[in-house]
Structure formats: C-alpha cells, structure tokens
Amino acid sequence: MAAVKNTLLVLCVCAALTGCMVGPDYVRPSAPVPIAYKEAQGWKVAEPADAAPRGNWWEAFNDPELSALVAQVEVSNQTVAAAEARVREAQAATQAARAALFPFVDLRGTAVRNNADSGSGRGTNAAYNLGLGASWEPDLWGGIRRNIESAGAGAQASAAEVANSKLSVQATLAQNYLLLRVEDAQIALLEQSVEAFARSLTLTRNQYQAGIVARGDVAQAEAQLKSTQAQVYDAQLSRSQLEHSLAVLIGKPPSQLTIAPRPALAAVYPDIPLAVPSTLLERRPDIAAAERRAAGANAQIGVAQAAFFPTVSLTAGIGVQSSVIGSLLSLPSRYWSLGAALAQAIFDAGLRSAQKEQAIASYDEAVASYRQTVLTGFQEVEDNLAALHLLAQQQAVQDAAVIAARQAAEIAMNQYRAGVASYLAVVVLQQSALNAERSALGLTGRRLTASVALVRALGGGWDATQLAHN
C-alpha cells in the first residue's frame, strides 16, 4: 500500500505542475504599417460595409462566363487541391501532437513454453500472461503544449495558404479571361482592317489598270494587307494560349475547353473601396500565413526550453499470469504494478543549447519573412493604385489619339482618291490609326488586369477571422 500511496503522491504533484509552461508567450511581431496609402489620393474611402468580406469579388466584372469559370477553381484546380491536402496534413499533425498529453494504454499477451534439463531429468515449463499496460509522461514544463501550439499555428498557416492559393488562381484566371476578351476585340479590329485594306487594294489595282497610279502604289497596298493579315494570326495565337491556360486553371485538358469569341468588348472597371492600411494585415491570407508561421516558430522555442528540465515517466500495469492456461483468469493469478521514473540529462555536449538557438533563429527568420510579406503587400497595393490612376489618364489621351488618327487617315484617303496625295501617305496614316486603336485596346486590358491585381492585393474579400475555427 505504501507504494500505491507514493505513486498517487507523484501523480498529484505532476498534475499540479502541468500548468507550468516554459518559453516565451507569443506576441505578434511589429511590422511597418503606413497611416495611409501614398497613391490613394482621390480614391474612394471604404465605408464600414465596404470593409466587410466582399464574397465573390469577380462578379463585379459583370461577366457570367467569367463567374462560371472561377467557380470551377475551388473544385478542380490541382494547385488548390494540393494546398487543401497540406491543410489536412497539418491538422493531423496537430492531433498527433495533442495525443502526447494523454497516457498510452496497450493490451499485452504472451504464451511461452520451454524445455529445461535438470539433475532429475528433462522438464517442460509454460508461462501465460495477459494484461493492460499504461505509461504517461506528464507535461510538467509545457513542452507538449508548446508543440501543440506550434502545430495548431502551422495548421492555421496552411489554411491561410489555401485561401491565398485560391485567390492567386482566381485572380490569374480572371486576368487571363479578361485578356482573352481583349484579344477578341483585337482580332475583330484587325479583321475589319483587313477588309478595309482589301477594298483599298482593289481600288488601287483598278486605278493602276486605268493608268492613274503607279505600280508601287499597288505593292504598298498589298504589303499593308498582308502585314495586317499576319497580325491577325499573331492575335489568334495569343488568344489560343490564353484559352489553354484557362483550361488548366480549372483542371481540364486544353482540348476540353472552348470559349466562343466575343468581338465587342464591354470593359467594366469595378469600384474598389480602400480601407486603412492596417487592415491589410487581416485581409491578406499570405500575410496571415506568415504571421502564423512566426507563432509556430515561437512555440518551438518553448519546446526546446522544456528539454532543459527533468522528465517524469509513470507506468502502471494490471493483468493475470499463470503456468496453466486453464487457471489464467482465476483470482490468485492476478497482479498489478505501479512505477515512476525521473530523468535529467547531465551532459549532452551542447545539444539542447544548440537546439534552442536553432529554434530562436527559426523564429527570427519567420519574423523577418512576415515583415517582408507585409512590405510586399503594401507595395502591391501602391503599385496597382498607381497603375489604375495613371492608366485611366493614359487611356483618355490615347482615345483622343485614336480619333485624331482616324480623321487623318480618312482625309489622306480622300486626298488620294482626288489625286492630290500619294498612297504612301495613306498607308502611313492608316497604319498609324490601326496602331492607335490597338494601343487603346491594350490599355483597356492593362486597366482590367490592374483592377484584378488590386483586388488580389487587398485580399480579395478574405479575412483572418476565418482561421479562428482551426
């Protein structure tokens, strides 16, 4: 009975000590956060409702076909599937770490027969044993709980990385789709130009046959037509590659996706509200993931610190044993055992100190990565704010240039028909008008992709509170 009392005393002491946790408690690292965005002058300030998660942000582009494609990302994209698998892996690691808080219980059974020689002759011995065994290492210094804390932070980081992966793929798909629609408009413009240049070539040939113009004018008209036809093929190649990329982004072979051309481009630039910069720390999943990685690394310092303290191991067993299997379950065959062991490392050649320094260095690395992620996030917001502001101004100027170029080309053609201008002047001005229109469409594409990039830079409607349940 004295052994039982002593063991129970050890259990009570261990239970009292399991509230102790060594190592630093986590505090979110500081990061450089500006008061306001530099490029936000004149930008809409977010109202409280605007700062809430925006849900399906791609619907702001008012394109049902785009929305249908983006909806397939979460289901079929393999990059997202791999990220989701990593979340399950991290959650399983958390459960495995938590299991160390509880005793390990196993069922044991043995049956042994052996022959032995003795002075009186040869004999056979038998031994049968059936019992339950339990062992437990109390978490006296919080090493196990710190490990659980680290694993939990890792699971949250993985969940944030899934959100970041989805956002990245969704944004890439939206940008590629919008660029594909710009290519549709480019192809339509080029095909219209081909038709117009073909008519000009016919006119020039007729005038050449009538002796009005020289053979060089016909050659110039043919060169202009062929050059524009070649540009059509180049635009079609770009469109095909964008269509193939969309197929891969939704998890399909390129041969299984065909998007019907849409010659008329209806560009929609969504109204994107801005919150104060400090909210970006909660709105971007990559920043949240980096912060959770820092929290996990901090907890590992506690795990390394706990290794400096003694460990207590408790064991218990109960069962039955007999040399006759028929009497194995009888009362006299029963036995029990209780035990406790204390261990403290005396010399390890600096192993534990090195492991603690390694954990501290890993934490410092995670903090630096977190701060760099924050800085990169602010840069991306500023970049795209500037892009949208300046591209809008550039497009206004370019649209005016398109009007002027069209007028100049029309005047030159009328003068050519009247015989007061050379066909070279017509070709130059028509090509200038075509280039101006193509540049205007290119600016439209850049503005659309910058709009998507700004949504992505602002977090796409995600919020760090979504990690609370992990």
Q: Residue 31: which residues within 8 A CB-CB, separation 6 or more?
A: 281, 370, 371, 374, 375
Mean confidence (pLDDT) of the chain: 85
Q: What is the pLDDT of residue 397?
A: 96
Question: What b-and-e string marks burial along 434-468, b requiring 16 or more CB atoms within 10 Å of the CB?
Answer: bebbbbbbebbbbbbbbbbbbbbbbbbebbbeebe
Q: What is the pLDDT of residue 67?
A: 93
Q: Please, are residues 38 and 381 in contact by the beta-carbon 8 Å criterion? A: no
Q: Residue 367: which residues within 8 A CB-CB, separation 6 or more?
A: 29, 294, 297
In the predicted model, residues of the chain with pLDDT beneath 70 are: 1-19, 42-55, 115-124, 322-333, 468-470
Is domain 23-100+142-309+351-467 classified as CATH 3.40.50.2000? no
Domain ranges, ordered by start, for the chain: 23-100+142-309+351-467
Q: What is the pLDDT of residue 121?
A: 53
Q: Please, are residues 251 and 77 in contact by the beta-carbon 8 Å criterion? A: yes
Question: What b-and-e string marks burial along 146-180, b requiring 16 or more CB atoms within 10 Å of the CB?
Answer: bbbbbbbbbbbbbbbbbbbbbbbbbbbbbbbbbbb
Indicate the pTM of the whole model: 0.85
Q: What is the C-alpha separation between 24 and 54, in angstroms, rounded?
A: 37
Return the half-sphere exposure (C-beta side, CA atoms, 13 A cut-off) of residue 243: 17
Indicate the helix (H) or strand (E) that contains 127: strand 121-136
Q: What is the pLDDT of residue 1?
A: 47
Q: What is the C-alpha separation between 124 and 121, in angstroms, rounded?
A: 10
pLDDT by residue (tens digit) across 275-289? 888 888 888 999 999
Q: What is the pLDDT of residue 176?
A: 95
Q: Please, are residues 424 and 220 in contact by the beta-carbon 8 Å criterion? A: yes
